[in-house]
Chains A and B, each alone.
Chain A
């Protein structure tokens, strides 16, 4: 098997400034095989894909395609050589306002040798050939904007395949598909595998991986941390290699709580998902961990009232809690530091001070007029509390580093006392020192409220939480007290192991 690699990457390196993203990656892809590439956020997956697909220039190392040196300078060169990439954002792969047939043949409409006159009949004929080859059952006359996401994805892939590639890279293709839609995609991947295409499939979803993988390559911190190709595949080992295990510098003294703040019973956050039940106690810091796409954000948003649960009840301090909006949740003392601060947290037009006061303007106003002195004092206090590095509270958010921006987001919601403080991926894009600062602050101030963190990285959970819950497939599958964590069991749960192998 090792001998017939159609595509080979050796010692690939890439740095952005002083920041080394890829530290010598070696990888082989074989014809008629699906190689799954796993890696946490920031592991360097997308950089690798961009180098292979000709978007970035490599920093070092070599690539060969069918024994020939492969060094594309542009995406078009890569495609011509036979390496085709379908990027994560589906809409980058299709032109929404054109019909399916035109989309499938779009690449032949431009470039040298393309006929000047647009001949609809010829386009439809060529498109039909492409569609048949793939077993694509979509009305070729339909406009892409009228198609479902899955169909668009199919069109994007079909369009890529019109080039008859040797290597196909699929970057998280199921991230926005339902499970039925994903099944269609898998059937297509099977078909391509049968046709002898070498496929690099990038995903976090264990169900995808179990269904498709012939080999798994795990990446972590810019290097390959594990290759698994002996059947049966060691999925837990792959997850393990992807998430890694570090020695924790700050051992947590896990606390237990007697007094329940929030009780969740029978909560269903997705159609057909198993119900979630949990209790969060006063003074306790709980982390929910799990891979991307297992419903962590959905659960956070449900607690915060911006997403309606399918079933189940919540109780806060003994009283029923059923928020219908973020406003309701805030009024009840439930605060959320949302995931992805740039789109859901930071108000770009506002400076630090105004970003901090945003949710609590009502409480900072008299007769609806903002008490500016109070606003400033609050901002200064919070900047001090969290150690935000800035010149003054009047600084623009754009002037701050990612870590400091995140500190401002946390400071915003710590300006008032919460009953339940939810943080969704609070350490995303945050440097290590800011992460430590935030975690320490959360623990130090934990009394008087329940604190709930959603993190993908297990390390982050181990560093901050008293208790760790594991999520998989939109439900909670495991619970660990952060004292003597059985890492093997935890990783198995993250990987969706024995507990849910059928689901």
Chain B
């Protein structure tokens, strides 16, 4: 391997460690188990979304609706528990169903209606941003809220559901690891294994790289594409569940920032280990990278706009790594 190969392969990881070292020196309290766990926690939700969007990137697609799927799932969980007074289990199932159905519709639009992926999911994004407001006429959902018809919603977020956002597992130190981090790690492992080791994942990569070749190798290309969007939708709805559990209410939001952060993480992931393609490990590292940056910058009192700026710089550098240096960027 030449020096250039090394730079492409390990450059980003080195950058990540450099960053950690810098913040360890520059920001007090950056190095601690709590701090590390917190970084994971802060990226858990966008990380889950990013893993989902990775699946659509793998088949050569894109999903702009994940942010609004997440916030819709958040609203739905709140609606199910607070207004319909159902338990946590029902709320979770409803959310996952919403994610799957939205994914299915996205996939159907793209595969059978031949709407370009960006446009189909953009439309879905707007649709969901509006739809989530309809049941409550644009109000956020919290226990004791007044419904449009004047009645008061008496249900509340069940403790089991809130535990998804607030419970912590012991890990050497008591009460260290939040549920959301465990969810992130489990999902990351799952999708990584799925994409790298199962024949379905392999075929999805083939579909993304050369659709016709995949079809002529016997792959049901349409089904794979639709499944990718279903995965993306379900992951986004899991992100929404974690969000609802953390906030403890159904918050009206477009989720655009979630979308942008998730996409950034997935794209940064292209550069990790010189993969030059969407991959689950890279996405997870990309999400962490952003999390570490924001944690460190906030600890150093950097205002929010510098954080956006730095995020952008990282993304651009990562894309240069991917497309220029490795010289095999395809998308």
Tell whether A and B belong to one assembly. Answer: yes
Residues of A within 8 A of B (CB): 304, 306, 325-327, 329-331, 336, 338, 343-350, 354, 357-359, 361-362, 364-365, 368-370, 372, 396, 398, 412
| Inter-subunit contact B216/A347 (CB<8 Å) | no
In residues 155-208 of chain B, which contact A (Cβ within 8 Å)? 197-200, 202-203, 205-206, 208
| Inter-subunit contact A330/B212 (CB<8 Å) | no
* Nearest B-chain residue to A398, judged by Cβ: B328
Q: How far is the CB of B19 from chain A (nearest CB, A)?
A: 29
Q: Is B5 in the interface zone, CB < 8 Å from A?
A: no
Among the listed A325, A331, A345, which residue makes an inter-chain contact with B213, where contact means beta carbons less than 8 Å apart? A345
> In the bound complex, what is the Cα–Cα distance between A357 and B214 (angstroms)?
12
Q: How far is the CB of B193 from chain A (nearest CB, A)?
A: 8
| Inter-subunit contact A368/B199 (CB<8 Å) | yes
| Inter-subunit contact B205/A369 (CB<8 Å) | no
Extra contacts besides A325-B220, A365-B199, A368-B200 (7): CB < 8 Å: A327-B220, A343-B213, A350-B206, A357-B202, A361-B202, A368-B198, A370-B198
Q: How far is the CB of B181 from chain A (nearest CB, A)?
A: 26
| Inter-subunit contact A365/B218 (CB<8 Å) | no
| Inter-subunit contact A358/B214 (CB<8 Å) | yes
Q: Is B330 in the interface zone, CB < 8 Å from A?
A: yes
Q: How far is the CB of B228 from chain A (nearest CB, A)?
A: 15
> In the bound complex, what is the Cα–Cα distance between A336 and B218 (angstroms)?
10
| Inter-subunit contact A358/B200 (CB<8 Å) | no
| Inter-subunit contact A359/B218 (CB<8 Å) | yes
Q: Once A and B bind, how many residue pairs between them come within 8 Å at the CB atom?
A: 81
* Nearest B-chain residue to A336, judged by Cβ: B216
| Inter-subunit contact A326/B198 (CB<8 Å) | no
In the bound complex, residues from chain B placing their C-beta under 8 Å from that of A306 are 215-216
| Inter-subunit contact B213/A346 (CB<8 Å) | yes
Encoded as 1 (CB less than 8 Å from any A CB) or 0, chain B from 205 to 247 comes to 1101110111111111000000000000000000000000000
The secondary structure that dominates the A interface is mixed
In the bound complex, residues from chain B placing their C-beta under 8 Å from that of A358 are 202-203, 206, 213-214, 217
Residues of B within 8 A of A (CB): 197-200, 202-203, 205-206, 208-210, 212-220, 277, 328, 330
| Inter-subunit contact A370/B210 (CB<8 Å) | no
Q: How far is the CB of B222 from chain A (nearest CB, A)?
A: 10
In the bound complex, residues from chain B placing their C-beta under 8 Å from that of A326 are 215-219
> In the bound complex, what is the Cα–Cα distance between A350 and B220 (angstroms)?
19
The secondary structure that dominates the B interface is helix
In the bound complex, residues from chain B placing their C-beta under 8 Å from that of A348 are 209-210, 330
In the bound complex, residues from chain B placing their C-beta under 8 Å from that of A361 are 199, 202-203
Contacts known (A326-B218, A330-B218); A347 close to B199, Cβ less than 8 A: no
* Nearest A-chain residue to B203, judged by Cβ: A361
In the bound complex, residues from chain B placing their C-beta under 8 Å from that of A357 are 202
Q: How far is the CB of B145 from chain A (nearest CB, A)?
A: 46
| Inter-subunit contact B213/A344 (CB<8 Å) | yes
Q: How far is the CB of A137 from chain B (nearest CB, A)?
A: 31
Q: How far is the CB of A394 from chain B (nearest CB, A)?
A: 13
Q: Top 5 nearest A-B pairs by Cβ distance?
A: A349-B209, A361-B199, A359-B217, A327-B218, A330-B218
Contacts known (A327-B218, A358-B217); A347 close to B209, Cβ less than 8 A: yes
> In the bound complex, what is the Cα–Cα distance between A344 and B203 (angstroms)?
15
Contacts known (A306-B216, A326-B216); A346 close to B210, Cβ less than 8 A: yes
Contacts known (A347-B210, A349-B209, A370-B197); A354 close to B202, Cβ less than 8 A: yes
Q: How far is the CB of B135 from chain A (nearest CB, A)?
A: 39
> In the bound complex, what is the Cα–Cα distance between A398 and B328 (angstroms)?
10
Q: How far is the CB of B172 from chain A (nearest CB, A)?
A: 32
Among the listed B212, B218, B328, which residue makes an inter-chain contact with A343, where contact means beta carbons less than 8 Å apart? B212
| Inter-subunit contact A325/B199 (CB<8 Å) | no
Among the listed B198, B205, B212, B217, which residue makes an inter-chain contact with A349, where contact means beta carbons less than 8 Å apart? B205
* Nearest B-chain residue to A301, judged by Cβ: B216
> In the bound complex, what is the Cα–Cα distance between A345 and B328 (angstroms)?
18
| Inter-subunit contact B202/A349 (CB<8 Å) | no
> In the bound complex, what is the Cα–Cα distance between A325 and B219 (angstroms)?
9
Contacts known (A325-B218, A327-B218); A347 close to B206, Cβ less than 8 A: yes
Q: How far is the CB of A136 from chain B (nearest CB, A)?
A: 31
